[in-house]
Amino acid sequence: MSEIPKRFWNEYQKEIADDHYFYERSCIRQTFFPGSEAAFLKILREELGKDIKDEANQHTCTGIGYHSDVVPIETTMTVVARLFSLMTEDGYENYVPSCVTSFGVFTEMVEMWKHDPALLEKARKYLREATGREFELPKNIAHPSDIIFKFRNELKPKMKYQLLNRFTGKPLRAVEHVGCHYAKIFPEKGVGKSEFPHVLSGMIEAWGGEVIDYPERRHCCGFGFRQYLVQENRGYSVANSKKKFE
């Protein structure tokens, strides 16, 4: 590979912390897919030997209410500030939000505070008045998929099964969907950005599978919060998901 393509692809990489993670659980994943969070923590601790704090004293990020225009941004700022205060209190700097919507919310708050220090001070003031707590901003924010992607090659020899057809030995053909709140709110914060999302396809390729491209790869799943939460609008969500599955 020549130097110019290498430099170009480097722009699509993401810094992901090596260890010492503060884990923030997801409302939706805990409710519908609790095994996914247990599996992630088990993989990090037992297979990779990483330090990850699973704090019991946490709460929602307000993401669903925030994106549905029910929760005002000042409330979301304060709630995010409290979650960061738990991280700070426990002595961690690398934040791992389980949910892609939380990932989007935390990234948005941090970017907003970086560009407007007055808002950061307002968030500190709100948190102090409400709880007496203080917080520091995380040095690194990574989604669990980022971390599994980072260690995909280390995990490969530990896996009982590869993404291979057990009868033919040929690669299993797979497609992926990368969530909008991971890839599109702040494209530079995801592996491959929104143009070349590579976080899931990178795992598939590393573990022996074959990634199949499809026209709707970067198409929204249709959830959209305000679309899905208002019953009259759910046809929009269903139509988007139907298009992707077909």
> pLDDT tens, 106-123?
999 999 999 999 999 999
28 inside domain: yes
38 inside domain: yes
Mean pLDDT confidence for 20-27: 96
140 inside domain: yes
104 inside domain: yes
89 and 124 co-located in one domain: yes
126 and 167 co-located in one domain: no
pLDDT, greater one: 41 or 197: 41
CB atoms within 10 A of CB 196: 13
Percentages (nearest 5) of helix, strand, coil residues in the chain: 50, 10, 40
Q: Which domain holds residue 76?
A: 21-144
The string of DSSP letters for 145-184 reads: HHHHHHTHHHHGGG-S--SB-TTT-PBPEE-----HHHHT
The string of DSSP letters for 124-138 reads: HHHHHHHHS------
25 and 104 co-located in one domain: yes
* Token pair for 97: 């939000």
239 and 168 co-located in one domain: yes
34 and 86 co-located in one domain: yes
Banded model confidence at residue 7, pLDDT cuts 50, 70, 90 = low
140 and 38 co-located in one domain: yes
229 and 180 co-located in one domain: yes
Q: Number of structural domains, the chain?
A: 2
138, pLDDT greater than 80: yes
**What CATH number is given to the structural domain containing 29?**
1.20.1050.140
- The mean-pLDDT minimum among 41-45, 62-66, 86-90, 169-173 falls in 62-66
For 163-215, the pLDDT digits (tens) are: 999 999 999 999 999 988 898 888 889 998 888 889 999 999 999 999 999 99
Whether the CB-CB separation of 193 and 239 falls below 8 Å is answered with: no
Average pLDDT of the chain to the nearest whole number: 92
105 and 188 co-located in one domain: no
CB atoms within 10 A of CB 78: 21
For 84-107, the pLDDT digits (tens) are: 999 999 999 999 999 999 999 999
151 inside domain: no
Banded model confidence at residue 2, pLDDT cuts 50, 70, 90 = low
106 and 31 co-located in one domain: yes
2 inside domain: no
207 inside domain: yes
| Nearest-angstrom CA–CA distance, 109 and 78 | 10
132 and 33 co-located in one domain: yes
* Token pair for 206: 């590393």
80 and 116 co-located in one domain: yes
13 inside domain: no
239 and 171 co-located in one domain: yes
227, pLDDT greater than 80: no
